[in-house]
Amino acid sequence: MALVHLRRLATPLLLLAAAAFLYAQVGGLRPAYRQLVTEAPFVTAGIALLLGLFFNRSRIFVASLALLAMAWVVSTRLAPGFADPRGLVLYSLLSLFVPLTGLVLVLAPEHGLRSNSGHWLLLLIPAQVVAGWVVMRYAVGAAAALVLDWMPPRVHESWALSMPASVLFAAALVIALWRLLRHGSEDLAALTAWLIFALAVLAAYDEPGFAPVALAAAGIMLAACLVRSSHELAYYDQLTGILGRRALDERLDALGRNFTIAMLDVDHFKQFNDTYGHETGDDVLKMVAAQIARVGGGGTAYRYGGEEFSIVFPGRGLRESLPFLEEVRRNVEAYQLVLRDHKSRNVPKKVAEERRGRRRLPRNETVSVTISIGVAEANKHHSTPQEVIEAADKALYRAKQKGRNCISR
């Protein structure tokens, strides 16, 4: 269910709550410590910036750069209240530039800093800085009058943002949440949280001590996102979204004496690929992985490689594991996969025909696939995880010989 992707916002929101709590404690700190709090956003955003450069992540890099710019403006150029026209204009520009930046980042593809899209994203913050400098240098008076006419700040005594800026933030957040629900990536969760942090800072403009604490927490959040996403790249299979071979190898090293391992293979997968094309084959693998990932009995699913998967049952014997494997087999067999024709693919007709072997697909045609399963448990004949995997592989071969779509042990 797509709503599970919202769990990625749990840590950022906890960080925001922690920032609000720490803000209440800042007033009691000594001046030297308060100065450290003021400088903290530059440290945390700088760390996130360097990590974004190291991991070649253009969107997080630009978000970190925007965070640095925002911290500098808030700490050196803004003062509480809107009596000063320069402060009014600068705050209004910030309240428009920040949600627009967030909107661009959540919609932009992630192709790395050295790609064409990465180069365009890198121009985003400098372009806003230049635009802001031109307005502040040559048109402050006219801009202040325009702000007071069209977007006066403080729609409520406890909400400093103007109505247009509030609407722009709301639109950016809705689109970010929609993208997060659809794709569920760690980057999208971080960018959505970045928008929430920025909204909190600008809405609480009259609380000057809150901004550095919240911005420092936002920098920590962006850095943590890069660490978590790199962990996902290392341990999760990018096509199917389930754990991959590296995660399986580490899990095998931690198994005790009692465990069961099942090896699963998609039946006639090469023939399916040749008939319907590799993109439809990828859809099959995603569907099978989703069904396998729902296995009960404490089992954990992994993509072993190609069309082969593995399920590990720690602390369970073979007989205890069989009912859960049978349920997985039945669920895969019963699933009806809808095939998309070339009109529903984002590729030219000729390319689509070549990918599926020039077989025309009737609209909304459905197919089903089956899996074969080999299963083995740790015993006196094969006690190590690798020996159990080899035994399960042999059992899988026997399942294929029996006619497929069955379980062999």
> What is the spatial distance between Cα 395 and Cα 381, in angstroms, rounded to a whole number?
14
DSSP readout, 162-207?
A: -HHHHHHHHHHHHHHHHHHHHH--HHHHHHHHHHHHHHHHHHTTT-
Delineate the domains of the chain, giving CATH numbers in brackets. Answer: 2-235 (no CATH), 245-408 (3.30.70.270)
- Tell me the catalytic residues: 307
Q: 255-312, pLDDT tens digit by residue?
A: 888 999 999 999 988 888 888 888 888 889 999 999 999 999 999 999 998 899 999 9
Please tell me which residue, 66 or 352, carries the higher pLDDT value.
Answer: 66
Tell me what pLDDT residue 280 has. 84
Q: Which residues contact 46 (CB under 8 A, 6 or more apart)?
A: 64, 68, 219
Tell me what pLDDT residue 3 has. 66
Nearest to 302 by CA among 383, 393, 236, 400: 236
Q: 6-33, pLDDT tens digit by residue?
A: 888 888 888 888 888 888 777 666 777 7
Residue 308 CB-density burial (10 A; 0-12 exposed, 13-18 middle, 19+ buried):
middle
Tell me what pLDDT residue 341 has. 55
Tell me what pLDDT residue 356 has. 46
Q: Which residues contact 354 (CB under 8 A, 6 or more apart)?
A: none
